[in-house]
Amino acid sequence: MLDELSERNEQTLYELTVRLITKHNLAITRQAIAKHLSVLEDAGLIQSEKKGKFRIVVFNNEPLKDLLKGWIE
């Protein structure tokens, strides 16, 4: 999911679901993806924001940068 969002940021849940199913041949429901996104949002790795009638998912790579910076130093 993070790879897909880093490749094409700002996707709706539907768009992300379609990309994961078609591009990676995953058998996963939109509800399962929503649960995973909830965990990623709690971890600060994604943010979701309402735009019109859609909720847009945005990748936040800052926590990963901080983690890698700590490992490298």
**Mind listing the pLDDT tens digit for each residue in 24-69?**
988 999 999 999 999 999 999 999 999 999 999 999 988 888 777 7
Please state the domain count of the chain.
1
The CA-CA-CA angle for residues 60, 64, 68, to 5°, reads 155
Residue 9 pLDDT level (bands cut at 50, 70, 90): confident
Q: Is the pLDDT of residue 14 over 90?
A: yes
Q: Supply 3's token pair.
A: 């790879």
Residues 3, 46 contacting (CB under 8 angstroms): no
Helices (H), the chain: 2-7, 13-24, 30-42, 62-72
Q: Which domain holds residue 35?
A: 2-72
User: Looking at residue 6, which CATH number applies to its domain?
Assistant: 1.10.10.10
Predicted local confidence at residue 65, as pLDDT? 81
Predicted local confidence at residue 73, as pLDDT? 66
pTM of the model: 0.81
